[in-house]
Amino acid sequence: MYDAILKTVILGDTDSGKTTLVKRFITDIFDYNCLRTIGVDFQTKDCELDGKELKLMIWDFAGHKRFQYMFPEYLYGALGGILMYDITNYSSFSHIGNWLSLIQKTNQRFPIILLGAKLDLDFIREIPRKVGARVAKSMGLNGFIECSSKTGENIELLFESLMRLMLNNMVINEGKMIELEEIC
């Protein structure tokens, strides 16, 4: 029996590393031959956090524009989200606002972390860490993290932070949601 089932969505441009991130988190293996997602992919992982047994459902959305019509329906019921970009690709970073507006159009409110991926390629970085953190704050997101699916750096931190935010968001105090704390 689970203490909570947490639906998480991951959005970002094609080739930003969404599917590789999910596979690394689920299996702890970096997949060099990861195929692009067509439409949406769904994975689950049983997790333990602060003594709570959790089932994390992760919805990985394709980055192609032609699949965006599906997002509102699949976003329904999400309790947390990851907006992802590739730190070596300015174009993927410049589209973060577009992805966020897709979520906002559904009128759902849930914690979102901005994720800069491919930290192992820091030597060819196009988006400075400070810029990512500043954009996350200016957009009102709940955190900012950079990670590497290749090395595993900050993968656990990302998902633990998001699960904490989702659990905190679920806590009800006299019928009102408790404010989320920023984690960046």
8-12, 105-109, 110-114, 178-182: segment of lowest average pLDDT:
178-182
Q: Which residues pair with 49 in a beta bridge?
A: 52
Per-residue tokens: 101: 């507006």
CB distance 143 to 164 below 8 Å: no
Query: Using CA atoms, how far apart are residues 135 and 115, in angstroms rounded to an integer?
Result: 11
Q: What is the pLDDT of residue 71?
A: 65
Share of the chain above pLDDT 70, in %: 79
Residue, of 180 and 41, whose pLDDT is higher: 41
**What's the pTM value of the predicted model, to 2 decimals?**
0.85
The yes/no answer on whether domain 4-177 falls in CATH 3.40.50.300 is yes
pLDDT tens profile 97-155? 988 988 888 888 899 999 999 999 999 999 999 999 999 999 999 999 999 999 999 99
CB distance 115 to 84 below 8 Å: yes
Residue spans per domain, the chain:
4-177
Q: What is the pLDDT of residue 72?
A: 63
Give the pLDDT band (50/70/90) at residue 171. low
Give the pLDDT band (50/70/90) at residue 29. confident
Residue, of 137 and 16, whose pLDDT is higher: 137
Question: Which DSSP category does 142 fall into?
Answer: S
Answer yes or no: is pLDDT of 69 > 60: no
